[in-house]
Structure 1
Amino acid sequence: MPIIINVDVMLAKRKMSVTELADRVGITIANLSILKNGKAKAIRLSTLESICKALDCQPGDILEYKSDEGEV
């Protein structure tokens, strides 16, 4: 998938646990883990906003686009 989700990077930078972020955002640890591991197919903008608020970051700090090799 060409969209990379860097929640784990921001968690490390902020020295915050997955459990703490899940509590602050109001989502389950399981759903946050799906997002963190790149298995999510979508993210609600309200969830992205809550994550950004909790981690004091911008959406671009969390989401990254990398094109698949071989695509034009």
Structure 2
Amino acid sequence: MSIIINLDVMLAKRKMQSNELADIVGITPANLSILKTGKAKAIRFSTLEAICEALDCQPADILEYSED
């Protein structure tokens, strides 16, 4: 089982660049890249909330559970 990060999909739907989202959310582009590639081990709820607010979406639009 794994968690899939669909951040690229939401960025494309909102026509937003990663650097722009990082600035709005207040995290470094490197940390956003780690999250986008699925290499992050955790995400703070405050960061998830800021991403959802910036992209006008729900957490389920970004995070997906998949059984392997």
TM over 0.5: yes
Partner residue, 2:21: 21
Stretch deviating more after TM superposition (1-10 or 17-26) = 1-10
- Residue 15 of structure 2 aligns with an amino acid whose one-letter code is K
Runs (4 or more) in structure 1 with deviation over 6 Å come to: none
- The whole-number CA distance in structure 1 between the counterparts of 2:36 and 2:6 is 7
**What runs of 5+ residues in structure 2 fail to find an aligned partner?**
none
Larger Rg: 1 or 2?
A: 1
**What runs of 5+ residues in structure 1 fail to find an aligned partner?**
none
Partner residue, 1:35: 35
Q: CA deviation at 1:54?
A: 0.2
- Residue 31 of structure 1 aligns with an amino acid whose one-letter code is N
Q: Alignment identity in percent? A: 79
Q: Does 1:8 align with 2:8?
A: yes
- The whole-number CA distance in structure 1 between the counterparts of 2:57 and 2:43 is 16
The TM-score normalised by the length of structure 1 is 0.92
- The whole-number CA distance in structure 2 between the counterparts of 1:48 and 1:5 is 12
